[in-house]
Amino acid sequence: MPVSSLTASDLAQVTRVAELIRSHQSFLIVGHVRPDGDCIGSQLALGLGLRALGKQVRVYTPGPLMRHLTFLPHAHMVETALDMSFEPEVTAYVDCGGRDRAGQDFEPRGRIINIDHHLSNDHFGDAAYVNTRATAAGEMVYDVLQHLGVELTADIASALYLAIMADSGSFKFSNTVTRTFEIVTELVRAGASPSWIASEFYDTQRPGTLWLKGQILSHLHYECEGRLCWAEITQEMYERAGGESCEPEGLVSELRSIEGVEVSVLIHELAEGGARAGIRSRGTWDVNMIATELGGGGHRNASGCFIRGNYPEVRDRILDVARRHLAQPPAAQQVTAG
Amino acid sequence: MPVSSLTASDLAQVTRVAELIRSHQSFLIVGHVRPDGDCIGSQLALGLGLRALGKQVRVYTPGPLMRHLTFLPHAHMVETALDMSFEPEVTAYVDCGGRDRAGQDFEPRGRIINIDHHLSNDHFGDAAYVNTRATAAGEMVYDVLQHLGVELTADIASALYLAIMADSGSFKFSNTVTRTFEIVTELVRAGASPSWIASEFYDTQRPGTLWLKGQILSHLHYECEGRLCWAEITQEMYERAGGESCEPEGLVSELRSIEGVEVSVLIHELAEGGARAGIRSRGTWDVNMIATELGGGGHRNASGCFIRGNYPEVRDRILDVARRHLAQPPAAQQVTAG
């Protein structure tokens, strides 16, 4: 086997999931709301794999299913309306950090499988494979299908490639490790086309999204000697761009990557008043502290908050807190607030 | 060996290069003008590898050496001023499509090695390894070092990872194949850090570059029912952004990736008058025909031209030719012009 073995603990989990799959015949595979490339790719690969074993399979996500997620072979298998007459023996959650991620109204039927890599996952279900070291849920579906002896067809490989490529930021995030590339090698060998998948997934930008991105990039604000970079998206901008679905993805992280910038803040005016903000840092700045002070939270280098109220006042409050943190060195920030 | 074997023809070339290296003691490793990640990564890896064999090595590129290329361990080995007193037994060209790519004034000394993957390479030198199927020159340096039995240290692996990541567009271009990932797996196993290298290489954007990108993205022109997208960068915009070095990389390709766009054109006003234009297409449009009609050329999906004269007139001429081509279906375009 060219791919590194699983740890004993992971193998035990995979074995239990595989046993539950082998001993049942009908499956509902569910993903999370606002599915991403990992979610759809993992669901589709598991669905195709179980069908190859002769199982009855339906694949469901609450959606919305964006165009850049529906290019894969057999993507039409993914349903966004739940057929209530379907009574599966097993409900398999994929890439869901918790049961509630499959939608508020969703009720599982039959026994429950849980395949996921989120820290928040509490190992719910009758058979759970939770591996927070996995690059993507797709990598874990790969493990399960290998254990089941499912042949790696080009269609399954393509779905898994999408999952891993998407959740690793095209192999740029820190979850990209040796085993990631070991598996990807097998996927490409089995027929996944890296350039085709990347092109279908990334190269479908809407004119309104690019216009909005352009407006933001040409109106960036630099403060604190260039260490703080912030920008805002107002409702007026959203209206001109074609609505909030035109929000450019990953922009607040891109702002963090500017020379000299240590903390970036992207503030969105909300239609109902107030704002939500994404806050990012690199290096030692703990932006979770900034977000926590604003009633939000997250991780050390990536946090966010959501504040109701008068927009200009809320925006200024967010910026004031960020400025105050940046006025002291990162080490002092930790000591003071920690 | 976990990495696929070379073809017999490639192996014969690698063997000759390795023999020439084994039988000599001092080397000058040269790259091309405006070196990119592949060039610097390949040069550095070859330099470190030959030093590990006890050879005397100097590494030279005519430059300029941008900041995002100098983060690797031992990057200080790369010199941009040539020490004329150094008399190497061998000059090794890396990633140079021709001898002239190492700079107009550069004269090789001693015997010549040529390691490159460009179509234009005519196999010059005493020992040439030219492989146009290689993802990057870095992949070929990997082949040579493996053949020489050089240990893959973390520093060599990091340099090769940069080379392959950069020339594959972070594994998005069509040169990304099974062997790419086989080699990358070995590099990461040897200690290359994908996220660190990607962050150092990609996350160093200048404020002026982002402002310019923002201006362009919020002033895109769509014509021919949205199939043609064009934009311009005037000298006034360059001046405000901080000079022509603030040109955003890869932008004309990004414009091609907008929903519905088939051909993209980015026109740069030149300081000395006239314009240069990058022209990109996806699918069946042959933009080489558009560029050829304008006195330029290139490839089917990526071409360019350079025209002297009055800027507004030159810009309009470029756009008129593009519009005329897009007025007919791609098949007809080929029949008429081919």
- Chain B hits for A254, CB-CB cut-off 8 Å, are 205
- Note the pLDDT of residue A179: 97
Is there a contact between A188 and B181 if contact means CB atoms under 8 Å apart?
yes
For residue B170, give how far its alpha carbon lies from the nearest alpha carbon of chain A (Å). 6
- Note the pLDDT of residue B335: 40
Among residues 15-44 of chain A, which lie with CB inside 8 Å of chain B?
none
Render B189-201 in DSSP notation, one character per residue: HTT--HHHHHHHH
Strands (E), A175-260: 221-223, 228-233
Could you report the per-residue pLDDT of B82-101, keeping only the tens digit for each? 988 999 999 999 999 899 99
- Give the integer Cα–Cα distance in Å for A136 and A143: 11
**Residue B94 and residue B36 in contact, taking contact as beta carbons nearer than 8 Å:** no
CA distances from B159 to B48, B58, B138, B156 (A): 9, 16, 8, 5
- Note the pLDDT of residue A328: 81
Is A1 part of the contact surface with chain B (CB cutoff 8 Å)? Answer: no
| Residue B331: pLDDT band with limits 50, 70, 90 | low
Tell which wins on pLDDT, A288 or B25: B25
Domain A207-337, second-level architecture: Roll (3.10)
> Where is A181: in which H helix or E strand?
helix A178-189
Among residues 144-203 of chain A, which lie with CB inside 8 Å of chain B?
165, 170-178, 180-182, 184-185, 188-189, 194-195, 198-199, 202-203
Is B9 part of the contact surface with chain A (CB cutoff 8 Å)? Answer: no
- Give the integer Cα–Cα distance in Å for A156 and A160: 6
Of A185, A207, A217, the CB nearest to B211: A217
**Residue A137 and residue A42 in contact, taking contact as beta carbons nearer than 8 Å:** yes
Of B188, B213, B259, the CB nearest to A205: B259
Of B175, B185, B218, the CB nearest to A182: B185
Among residues 263-292 of chain A, which lie with CB inside 8 Å of chain B?
282
- Give the integer Cα–Cα distance in Å for B280 and B277: 10
- Chain B hits for A256, CB-CB cut-off 8 Å, are 203
Q: Where are the domains of chain B?
A: 8-202, 207-337
**Residues in Cβ contact with A335 at an 8 Å cutoff, skipping those fewer than 6 apart:** none
The residue of chain A nearest to residue B184, with distances taken between CA atoms, is A181
Find which of A3, A67, A181 to mutate to test the B interface (most B CBs within 10 Å of its CB). A181
**Residue B244 and residue B238 in contact, taking contact as beta carbons nearer than 8 Å:** yes
From the CB of residue B81, how many other CB atoms can be counted at a distance below 10 Å?
A: 8
- Phi, psi dihedral angles at B240 (to 5 degrees): -70, -30
Is A215 part of the contact surface with chain B (CB cutoff 8 Å)? Answer: yes
Of B177, B181, B226, the CB nearest to A181: B181
Taking every pair of Cα atoms in chain B, the longest distance, rounded to a whole number of angstroms, is 63
**What CATH homologous superfamily does B8-202 map to?**
inorganic pyrophosphatase (n-terminal core) (3.90.1640.10)
Could you check whether A8-202 and A207-337 share the same CATH topology?
Answer: no
Of A195, A198, A218, the CB nearest to B211: A218
For residue A164, give how far its alpha carbon lies from the nearest alpha carbon of chain B (Å). 12
- Chain A hits for B182, CB-CB cut-off 8 Å, are 185
For residue B190, give how far its alpha carbon lies from the nearest alpha carbon of chain A (Å). 9
- Give the integer Cα–Cα distance in Å for B258 and A209: 10
If you ran DSSP here, which 8-state letter would residue A258 be given? B
The residue of chain B nearest to residue A219, with distances taken between CA atoms, is B211
Which residue is associated with the tokens 């007193």?
B85
Report the DSSP pairing between strands A302-307 and B56-60. Answer: unpaired
Residue pLDDT tens, chain A, 338 long: 479 999 999 999 999 999 999 999 999 999 998 899 999 999 999 999 999 999 999 999 998 888 789 999 999 999 999 888 999 999 999 999 899 999 988 999 999 999 999 888 999 999 999 999 999 999 999 999 999 999 999 999 999 999 999 999 899 988 999 999 999 999 999 999 999 999 899 877 889 999 999 999 999 999 999 999 999 999 999 999 998 888 887 788 889 889 889 999 999 999 999 999 999 998 788 998 999 999 988 778 888 899 999 999 999 999 999 999 999 866 666 544 33
Of A170, A211, A257, the CB nearest to B171: A170
Which one, of B322, B321, B291, B286, lies nearest residue B306 by Cα? B291
Render B141-181 in DSSP notation, one character per residue: HHHHHHHHT----HHHHHHHHHHHHHHTTTTTSTT--HHHH
- Chain A hits for B175, CB-CB cut-off 8 Å, are 195
- Note the pLDDT of residue B324: 95
Q: The complex's ipTM?
A: 0.83
For residue A145, give how far its alpha carbon lies from the nearest alpha carbon of chain B (Å). 21
Could you report the per-residue pLDDT of B115-156, keeping only the tens digit for each? 999 888 999 999 999 999 999 999 999 999 999 999 999 999
Is there a contact between B188 and A178 if contact means CB atoms under 8 Å apart?
yes
